[in-house]
Amino acid sequence: MTHSAAPTSDRRAVSAGGAAKLTIDLTALRSNWCYLNGKVGDGCTCAVVLKANGYGTGAAEVGKTLYHAGARVFFVALPEEGIELRKELPHAEIYVLNGLFRDREKFYYDFDLKPVLNSLEEVAEWSSFAQSLQEELPAALHFDTGMHRLGMSIGDALQIGESAHLLKGIRIDLVMSHLACADTPDHGLNEKQLNRFQRVCELFPEARKSLSNSAGIFLGDDYHFDMVRPGIALYGGNPVPDETNPMLPVAHVLAEIISLREVPHGDAVGYGASRVTPRKSRIATINAGYADGLHRLVGSSDDQPNGARVYIGGHFAPIFGRVSMDMIAVDVTDIPEEHLSRGAPVEIMGAHVNVDELAEFAQTIPYELLCSLGARYTRHYKR
């Protein structure tokens, strides 16, 4: 399946209020889910990971869009996230990845949230709560196959398999683990985790099984099992590093030029005088900064001149100097005059400056960049 780039944003899309604009392309989001769903086939459920407010894009809108596209299973990190999502999706299956929080069992029960049980202690607490209600309650069992973050051990799996009373009152809806190195396909830990997970699965033949995140989907059919749990790929991040990104961009950040000035050769621009013009330059000031989620590392200095870039009027332009709280400076010397004026649109992130590229300049990952998108953007959902 080939995805085409999103159309270039135009001047009319810029906010009239002075804040930069964040557009979430729900059509691209839906297309991304359908693409991943198609890769795993009819026998496998393509779930949706919606933690951290849908990776910064808005869990409610994302959830509703993908439910209408056909998604029925959703994962959040916290019970509070699950409660908010339940208001939008009354019939969805919602799992809480971070487990069963102590003394909050009733929240899971009242809002029909399924805890992902990460320890024998959590298993015992959920079992005790279920028995107190004289009901059978659903849950997922999470086993650690090599990431050493959350999840029960292989030994715990054997103990549960041999002691049915540990699960009294619990209906196991899902058995899962999480890949640590799926975005490095040749890493030896992938196969080790697969083999360990297969051993665990033998102990729970009736439950659905899930191992793969976004990148794991691309490791092949052996990693798919009954359910995959894509996250970053849904929101446009590249699940296959070092290969062409098959996903459409979802988050588009559009700012505007608020000032233009000529700067003589040899003068410094911005805080710390960290960047000096190598020639007579034209510098544009743009209305977005680190308060909007642009990490300071995307800037540049004379010692590190290769900062990130923006897209203006069909041309790329480099960020020049440090990122300020509310602004960045951009060298637009080589951009034709007709594209430069106060109010001219500037793509910070989107179809031309993708989230993976911007994250690389920030020395981080697209997950962090999306989750850091500032609250003061004028937010728009494109349907």
CA distances 258 to 27, 143, 327, 338, 343, Å, are 31, 52, 9, 16, 6
Quick check: is 382 catalytic? no
Q: Which of 39, 64, 109, 271 is catalytic?
A: 271
Cα 177-180-186 angle, rounded to 5 deg:
120
Question: Which residues lie below 8 Å from residue 47, measured CB to CB, with a gap of 6+?
Answer: 71, 73, 74, 75, 210, 227, 228, 229, 230
Residue 309 assigned as binding residue: no
Q: Which of 176, 177, 162, 172 is nearest to 126 (CA)?
A: 172
Quick check: is 271 catalytic? yes
Q: Burial level of 3, CB count in 10 A (0-12/13-18/19+)?
A: middle
Question: For the chain, how big is the Rg over CA atoms in Å?
Answer: 24
Q: How far apart are CA 21 and CA 256, in angstroms?
A: 9
Cα 240-246-251 angle, rounded to 5 deg:
100
Q: Which of 21, 35, 51, 223 is catalytic?
A: 51
Residue 325 assigned as binding residue: yes
Estimate to the nearest angstrom the gap between the alpha carbon of 29 and the chain centroid.
Answer: 12
Please tell me what DSSP assigns to residue 103.
T
Residue carrying the six token digits 């098959």: 246
Active site residues: 51, 271
Mark the binding-site residues for substrate, compressed into ranges.
149, 325
Mark the binding-site residues, compressed into ranges.
149, 325
